[in-house]
Amino acid sequence: MPIYSAKNIPEKVTSSTKDPEIAAWLPNAPVLGAHLPVHVQRREHDAFIDEQKPPIGKIEHLGLRGPHGTIPVRVYHPSKRGPAEGGALIYLHGGGFIVGSLDQFETAMRLFAEHSGAQVYCVDYKLAPEYNWPVQIEEGEFVVRWLVEHAAERGLDPSRIALGGDSAGGNMTCVITLKLRDERGPKLALQLPLYPETQMPFFTAAGVENRSGGYVDTAGVLLFVWCLLKQGEDYSQPYVTPMNASSHADLPQAILVTCGFDMLRDVGHEYARKLAAAGNDLTYVHYSDLPHGFIQMTAHSKRCLEATLEIARLLGEGLKSQEAAEAARPAA
């Protein structure tokens, strides 16, 4: 799979042939944005809790006193040293803002930590509709500021802290990164949006192509937005729709991932192009054969596992210490 930089990002990305293992599994998988009550969708998503989990050094459970009550955070400590040792990834899970749990994302978090060397902080932010925007943004931002402040006591370099997330969590990653820039807050080392919801996808080719039959339905975005925003809230503002920011300049380096069988493919790709055009350091990866949500499907597809491990490797490279980077350079 080609990995692009800001200089050679393609003008368009498409789907190819869906990975056959995941194509066989998807018909029995949960559907995000289905015509089911939210509590039923939440329960059905426990199908993403894998019985066999990859190894990890240590798991730590934190409860941070945030702006809207306690924020549970599950911390994954790798068992071995890696290039991102001394760095950390704060992770905001996907689920359309309405579903998703730490348990449902545990496999991917273990893989990210173990294969990058970074500590991974997965945030159990409060879900909609019980909690409306901007509660989720404020909780994610709180964890970023908390970890930067407490980095030294946690064995971390405060200049090597990344923020990432998938789908709705990718939206939050983009939004919080913009907000920290606008407010001159802590400087993130890296942002890692995976198939992010940077804009509503209804009028894109990807939105129409993937309107149903995959993991997530395009029409489900209507449910997500209805649950997330209070009545009358402006959904076009950049802290809801990051594509609409007046500027995308002066942001941290990004590793942005899209996939072929995804309603968000085109809006994620367009956001990558905006980041590149604004002069940011960008690594862009497009998995044309994989669906939205693939990091949760590693138990069902070797291809999903390979892609998730590749993201972990890119994370390790992106958070590599200066000493590790110098040691990796070939001798003159």
Distance of alpha carbon 151 from alpha carbon 247, whole angstroms = 30
Question: What is the DSSP secondary structure assignment for residue 18, as one 8-state letter?
Answer: P
- Are the beta carbons of 72 and 124 closer than 8 angstroms? yes
Residues 6+ apart with CB under 8 A from 132: 228, 229, 230, 233
| The token pair that represents 195 in the structure block | 């198939």
Annotation marks residue 182 as catalytic:
no
Distance of alpha carbon 163 from alpha carbon 140, whole angstroms = 9
Helix, strand, coil: what percent of the chain each, to 5? Answer: 35, 20, 45
Q: Which of 167, 266, 269, 300 is catalytic?
A: 167
Annotation marks residue 167 as catalytic:
yes
Annotation marks residue 262 as catalytic:
yes
| The token pair that represents 96 in the structure block | 């359309």
Helices (H), strands (E): how many in the chain?
10, 9
Question: What is the DSSP secondary structure assignment for residue 32, as one 8-state letter?
Answer: B
My answer on whether omega of the bond before 134 falls inside 30° of 0, hence cis, is yes
| The token pair that represents 242 in the structure block | 């990051």
Q: Which of 19, 262, 266, 289 is catalytic?
A: 262
**Burial (Cβ within 10 Å: 0-12, 13-18, ≥19) of residue 266:** buried
Nearest partner of 225 among 215, 216, 235, judged by Cα: 235
Q: Which of 15, 292, 300, 301 is catalytic?
A: 292
Distance of alpha carbon 225 from alpha carbon 237, whole angstroms = 13
CA angle 100, 85, 303 (to 5 degrees): 50
Q: Which secondary-structure segment (H or E) carries 110?
A: helix 106-116
Q: Which residues are catalytic?
A: 167, 262, 292
